[in-house]
A and B are shown apart, each in its own frame.
Chain A
Amino acid sequence: MSDQGPRVLIVDDEVAIRRFLRSSLAAHGYSVHDASSGEEALQMVPAVRPDVIILDLGLPGIWGTEVTKCLREWTQTPIIILSVEGEEAAKINALDAGADDYLTKPFGAGELLARIRAALRRAAKPEDGPVFVTGDLQVDLAGRAVRLRDTDVQLTPTEYSLLKTLVIHANKLLTHRQLVREVWGGAHYEDAPHLLRVNISNLRRKLETDPARPRYIVTEPGVGYRLRTEPVVAPSVI
């Protein structure tokens, strides 16, 4: 096991899951630490100083959601939530509380590695350059200009604000609530979810080659949206 690679803290009460994650991650050069409960994890984080935390939701004792809230009081270390089907509400709460991403069990190692890489990259350069580029899409945050295949794209102020939020948090999963808060401010409009859907739809129509199979703005059903810059990582389990 290498102690040189990025440090990962695995928090899961299942021995089999910890063993599987430990061997997969160690094989890819990560330095792996693990905890079997939320309490243990909260004690370990200050000592281990992990670069990324993989946190199971359904822990004995305090839940993953609570662990996320506690950690976010003092650290911005990326947190990837592991959940099973049926924990949707808890999952969204954890994401709202500041978790960066989630994976639904069962998942493949490849998928997890991709999420970890993305999280580490985001954490490594919190400030993007003034011009964000992915594929054919260019967003000049300083000049408020959006270009697609070197053609200017006209966006409404709301559309631009939404795109900007997605770009700043590129590859991070943003929940509906987080997006509404960022774009429409503190006021929680009654029809904000509606407005969000319409604006996402409009953005796709202006930016995506095939709006029905978007390349950049991806929907996480029931959770939120993310701007994807990574090559597509197929979920290994349908």
Chain B
Amino acid sequence: MRAPNTTSLNPPAQFYIRKITTSRLPPRMIRLLGPSAPNNPGWRVLPVGFALVVFLTVVGLWIEPVIKAPNLAILYMLAVVMTALRWGRMAATISAISGAVLFDYFFVPPPRTFLVSDGWYLITLVGLLTIGLLVSMLTLAAREEAQTAQRREEYTSALYSLTEALAAESDLDRILDAIERHLLETFQRPIIIWMPVDGRLKARISNSELATAASKEAAAVWVFENGEEAGCGTARFMDSRVHYLPLKTWKGVVGVLGLQADTSKEPASDEKHLLDTFANQAALAITRAILAQEAQRTAVLQETDKLQKALLSSISHNFRTPLASVIGALNSVLSDGALLDISTQRELLKTAQDEAKRLNRLVQNLLDMTRLEGGAVHVRSEPCDVQDVVGSALEQLGDAARERLITIAIPPDLPLVPMDFVLIVQVVVNLVDNSLKYSSAGAPIEVGASLKHDQLQIRVADRGRGIAEQDLERVFEKFFRGASAETPGGSGLGLSICKGLVEAHHGRIWAERRLNGGTEMIFSLPLEAQ
């Protein structure tokens, strides 16, 4: 990052606020002078100063017999000060001059002439004029000070409200919204914010007529790359009607802020200050949001990475183990066939066959999982006979199911239930297969179906080793293997495939521990097609 120069070095917000609090005028004075004093009184008020003086002259003529003439000068003085306070310097000057002239004409001896006979009156006249002019000048200075202070107060409150709004948000889009809203409110001019998207600068926020013409983009790109201001009022792209500021933090330039230049008047220096501070706050908030996004992305990546690692290790382990057996067994039969008796050869070949089947199951599971996760599984719901589903599942399990005691309890009056026949058969196959694998050969397995709470419930229960209480939910996670799952042949995917398939039917699947040992896997399906 290049060294920041004075134009692009944004003063910190605290500095600005401190300046306000050291203002020389007390707040009460600001209220007294500020709001009542019109910013630009114009020529309309000039006769008012004159009229006040004429009115005082009439009053003076009326009370002259009582009050001596020199004392009347005080009245004119009062008129000048009042005019200066209410209507500004020009009115006050007019009132001072006209006051001096009228005083001279009506009250300074000899009366009704502009002549001055007494030297003391000359001093009074000059004093009246000088004090009038001085007061009018002082009044102006005080009023300008008050106006500046008022503007600063507005800026400070605008800045506070921006800071507050930004602090409340952490989402980038909402932060950009807040910046846009507050800048518009404060400066009343169209703004635009460019941010890099996929390596290119793009307008993230652009309201109204500030369209992204190519020239504007070029300026924005220059500002982004150099980290310096450009556009109207700077040395670069000076004919542009937009003022470009880099949104810069310790992390570098995160974006570019464009504000339509106000060509009607010279920008006040404190307005420039405010804009810089706004840009600074905006840059900090945007950086914070970007960092938060990055952190979240990293977390997701790490999670994905972890899953992929688990997948890879599971695949390589689960593939290599059966492959090693297949290759080893076939090698023995081929090369040492003459040395082995028939029964040993058969045993080896049987091993190779079993392991090849295991590989096939693994490939099938991986395929199913990939399809499920890729959204390639389409549920073709049709009214199905639950008994047929269970029967087909057992048929698919073949000898493994025929050799075991499996009791089936399905009420004959169960209605047809909408489901994808093939997919739900697979769920039942996986569940029964698990029960076969994780319970001893003599232990019975129960398969049942019933209607409960307007749902079809299918349950597969065994008397196996059971699942630890804390693992009841985790068994449906990918690659989760229970502590007691030493039985080979599992891929760690069977139950998560079941979960995926059941949930694709808008159903639910869960595991329960059975009284007296064993596991009950239950899934429910809605009776109405979703």
Interface residues of A (CB under 8 A from B): 85-86, 88, 106, 193-194, 197-198, 200-201, 204-205, 210-214, 218-219, 221-222, 232, 234-238
Contacts and interface: CB of A to CB of B under 8 A. Distances in A.
Interface string B382-396: 111101101110111
A201 B382 contact: no
Nearest to B408: A212
Interface in B390-410: 390-392, 394-400, 402, 408, 410
Contact of A197 (B397, B412, B416): B416
Contacts of A211: 387, 391
Contact of B360 (A106, A205, A219, A221): A106
A193 B384 CA distance: 9
Mostly, the B contact residues are helix
A235 B367 contact: no
Contacts of B429: 238
Nearest to A214: B391
A197 B391 contact: no
A205 B412 contact: yes
B360 A237 contact: yes
What are the 3 tightest A-B residue pairs by CB atom distance, in nearest-first order? A222-B422, A234-B398, A212-B408
B398 A235 contact: yes
Contacts of B395: 213, 218-219
Contacts of B39: none
Contact of B388 (A106, A193, A200): A200
Given A193-B382, A213-B408, A237-B357, A219 B416 contact: no
B512 interface: no
Residue of A193, A200, A214, A238 contacting most chain B CB atoms (<10 Å): A238
Contacts of B360: 106, 237
Given A211-B387, A212-B391, 12 more contacts: A194-B383, A197-B384, A200-B388, A204-B387, A211-B391, A212-B394, A212-B410, A213-B394, A232-B402, A235-B398, A236-B357, A238-B397
Nearest to B396: A238
B204 interface: no
Contacts of B357: 236-238
A214 B400 CA distance: 17
A105 B221 CA distance: 60
Nearest to A201: B385
A212 B422 CA distance: 16
Contacts of A205: 412
B382 A194 contact: yes
Nearest to B395: A218
Nearest to A88: B422
Residue of B385, B390, B410 contacting most chain A CB atoms (<10 Å): B385
Nearest to B424: A221
Contact of A213 (B383, B384, B391): B391
Given A198-B416, A221-B396, A238 B361 contact: yes
A17 to B, nearest CB: 14
A212 B387 contact: yes
A211 B387 CA distance: 7
18 contacts: A85-B367, A106-B360, A193-B383, A197-B382, A198-B416, A201-B388, A204-B387, A204-B388, A211-B391, A212-B391, A213-B391, A219-B391, A221-B421, A234-B398, A236-B357, A238-B357, A238-B400, A238-B429
Nearest to A198: B416
B392 A219 contact: yes
Interface residues of B, number: 33
Interface string B365-383: 0010000000000000011
Given A106-B360, A197-B383, A213-B408, A221 B425 contact: yes
A95 to B, nearest CB: 15
A83 to B, nearest CB: 14
B386 to A, nearest CB: 9
B364 interface: yes
Given A238-B397, A238-B398, A212 B385 contact: no
A177 to B, nearest CB: 13
Contacts of A232: 402
Interface string B408-432: 1010100010000110010001000
Residue of A197, A201, A221 contacting most chain B CB atoms (<10 Å): A221
A21 B356 CA distance: 18
A201 B387 contact: yes
A27 to B, nearest CB: 15
B282 to A, nearest CB: 53
Contacts of B410: 212
Given A211-B387, A219-B388, A237-B357, A194 B416 contact: yes
Contact of B390 (A193, A200, A212): A212
A101 to B, nearest CB: 16
Contacts of B385: 197-198, 200-201
A191 B399 CA distance: 35
Contacts of A235: 396, 398
A83 B349 CA distance: 25
A88 B360 CA distance: 18
Nearest to A219: B392
A13 B355 CA distance: 26
B145 interface: no
Nearest to B400: A238
Contacts of A234: 398-399, 402
Contacts of A214: 391
Interface string B301-332: 00000000000000000000000000000000
A194 B353 CA distance: 40
Contacts of A194: 382-383, 416
Contacts of A237: 357, 360
A237 B400 CA distance: 11
Contacts of B169: none
A213 B404 CA distance: 13
A162 B395 CA distance: 22
Contacts of A219: 388, 391-392, 395
Residue of A86, A88, A200, A212 contacting most chain B CB atoms (<10 Å): A212
Contacts of B425: 221
Contacts of B382: 193-194, 197
A92 B249 CA distance: 64
A209 to B, nearest CB: 12
Contacts of B400: 238
Nearest to A218: B395
A232 B394 CA distance: 13
Nearest to B416: A197
A221 B426 CA distance: 10
Residue of A88, A193, A213, A237 contacting most chain B CB atoms (<10 Å): A213
